[in-house]
Chain A
Amino acid sequence: MSAQTILRTMVGFYIVLFFLFLFGPLIIMSVSAFNTPTFPQAYPFEAVTFRWFGQIFADGIMVGGILNSLYIGIGVVCVAVPIGLAGALVMTQIAPRLRPIYYTIVVSPVLTPGVILGISTLVFWDRLGTAIGADYDSLFYSGFFLTVLGQSTFISAYCMLVFLARLQRFDRTQEEAALDLGASHVQVFRKILVPFLRPAILSSAVLAFLASFENYNTTLFTIQSEATLTTVLAGRVRMGTQPDIAALAVIIIGVTIAGAIAYEIAKRREAARERADRDIARRATTDDLVWHRPAEAKAG
Chain B
Amino acid sequence: MSANVELDHVTIRFADFTAVDDAHLRIEEGEFFSFLGPSGCGKTTILRTISGFLEPTEGSVRIGGRDMAGVGPNKRPTALIFQNLALFPLMSVADNIAFGLEVRGASRADRRRRADELLSLIALPNHGDKMVSALSGGQKQRVAIARALAVEPEVLLLDEPLSALDLRLRQHMRTELRTIQRRVGITFIYITHDQGEALTMSDRVAVMSNGVIQQVGSGPEVYNNPATAFVASFVGENNAFFGKVARAENGHAMLETSFGPLRGRNPKGLKPGEEAILFVRPEGLLLGAGNDANQFESEILANELEGSMVHVRLAGATPKAITVSLTNDGSAVAARPGARLKASFDPDRATILPKGPLADE
The reply to whether B135 and A281 form a contact with Cβ atoms under 8 Å apart is: yes
Picked from B53, B75, B103, B137, the residue with its CB within 8 Å of the CB of A187 is B103
Picked from B53, B103, B139, B150, the residue with its CB within 8 Å of the CB of A183 is B103
CB distance from B96 to the nearest CB of A (A): 9
Contact code string B79-96 (vs A, CB < 8 Å = 1, else 0) = 110111011101000000
Q: Which residues of the other chain, A, contact B69 by a CB distance below 8 angstroms?
A: none
CB distance from B108 to the nearest CB of A (A): 15
Q: Which residues of the other chain, A, contact B104 by a CB distance below 8 angstroms?
A: 182
Q: How many residues of A contact B (CB 8 A)?
A: 36
The reply to whether A173 and B82 form a contact with Cβ atoms under 8 Å apart is: yes
The reply to whether A280 and B168 form a contact with Cβ atoms under 8 Å apart is: no
The reply to whether B51 and A180 form a contact with Cβ atoms under 8 Å apart is: yes
The reply to whether B90 and A195 form a contact with Cβ atoms under 8 Å apart is: yes
Q: Which of B29-61 contact A (CB under 8 A)?
A: 51-53
The reply to whether B103 and A293 form a contact with Cβ atoms under 8 Å apart is: no
The reply to whether B169 and A176 form a contact with Cβ atoms under 8 Å apart is: no
CB distance from B267 to the nearest CB of A (A): 40
Known: A171-B86, A176-B82, A182-B104. A289 touches B168 (CB 8 A): yes
Q: Which residues of the other chain, B, contact A297 by a CB distance below 8 angstroms?
A: 117, 120-121
CB distance from A188 to the nearest CB of B (A): 9
The reply to whether A176 and B53 form a contact with Cβ atoms under 8 Å apart is: yes
The reply to whether A174 and B138 form a contact with Cβ atoms under 8 Å apart is: no
CB distance from A7 to the nearest CB of B (A): 45
Picked from B80, B123, B137, the residue with its CB within 8 Å of the CB of A294 is B123
Q: Does A196 contact B (CB under 8 A)?
A: yes
CB distance from B130 to the nearest CB of A (A): 7
The reply to whether A288 and B86 form a contact with Cβ atoms under 8 Å apart is: no
Known: A195-B90, A288-B139, A297-B120. A178 touches B185 (CB 8 A): no
Q: Does A181 contact B (CB under 8 A)?
A: yes
Chain A residues touching B, majority SS: helix
The reply to whether B138 and A291 form a contact with Cβ atoms under 8 Å apart is: yes
CB distance from B63 to the nearest CB of A (A): 14
Q: Which residues of the other chain, B, contact A8 by a CB distance below 8 angstroms?
A: none
Q: Which residues of the other chain, A, contact B179 by a CB distance below 8 angstroms?
A: 293
The reply to whether B134 and A284 form a contact with Cβ atoms under 8 Å apart is: yes
CB distance from B221 to the nearest CB of A (A): 29
The reply to whether A281 and B176 form a contact with Cβ atoms under 8 Å apart is: no
A292 to B176, CA, bound (A): 9
The reply to whether A173 and B117 form a contact with Cβ atoms under 8 Å apart is: no
A-B pairs under 8 A by CB, number: 125
Q: Which residues of the other chain, A, contact B138 by a CB distance below 8 angstroms?
A: 285, 288-289, 291
Q: Which residues of the other chain, A, contact B130 by a CB distance below 8 angstroms?
A: 280
Q: Which of A133-178 contact B (CB under 8 A)?
A: 171, 173-174, 176-178
Q: Does A191 contact B (CB under 8 A)?
A: yes
Picked from B139, B176, B183, B186, the residue with its CB within 8 Å of the CB of A284 is B139
A191 to B101, CA, bound (A): 13
The reply to whether B88 and A174 form a contact with Cβ atoms under 8 Å apart is: yes
Q: Does B118 contact A (CB under 8 A)?
A: yes
Q: Which residues of the other chain, A, contact B72 by a CB distance below 8 angstroms?
A: 179
Known: A293-B179, A297-B121, A298-B117. A181 touches B135 (CB 8 A): no
Q: Which residues of the other chain, B, contact A292 by a CB distance below 8 angstroms?
A: 123
The reply to whether A173 and B99 form a contact with Cβ atoms under 8 Å apart is: no
Q: Which residues of the other chain, B, contact A280 by a CB distance below 8 angstroms?
A: 130, 134
The reply to whether A191 and B118 form a contact with Cβ atoms under 8 Å apart is: no
Q: Does B78 contact A (CB under 8 A)?
A: yes
The reply to whether A281 and B133 form a contact with Cβ atoms under 8 Å apart is: yes
Which of A174, A179, A182, A298 gathers most chain B CB within 10 Å?
A: A182
Which of B80, B100, B103, B138 gathers most chain A CB within 10 Å?
A: B103
Picked from A191, A284, A299, the residue with its CB within 8 Å of the CB of B149 is A299
Taking A289-B168, A299-B184 as given, write out 17 further A-B residue pairs in contact, using a Cβ cutoff of 8 Å, ordered by the A residue number: A173-B83, A177-B86, A178-B88, A179-B73, A180-B53, A180-B80, A182-B74, A184-B103, A191-B99, A274-B133, A285-B136, A291-B138, A293-B123, A298-B121, A298-B183, A299-B183, A300-B183
Q: Can you offer 23 A-B residue contacts whose CB atoms are under 8 A?
A: A173-B82, A177-B88, A178-B88, A180-B79, A182-B103, A184-B103, A187-B103, A191-B102, A277-B133, A281-B136, A284-B134, A285-B136, A287-B136, A288-B137, A288-B169, A291-B138, A294-B123, A298-B121, A299-B117, A299-B118, A299-B149, A300-B152, A300-B186
A-B pairs, top 5 by smallest CB distance, nearest first, are A288-B138, A300-B184, A181-B100, A177-B86, A284-B136
Residues of chain A touching chain B, judged by Cβ–Cβ distance below 8 Å, are: 171, 173-174, 176-184, 187, 191-192, 195-196, 274, 277-278, 280-282, 284-285, 287-289, 291-294, 297-300
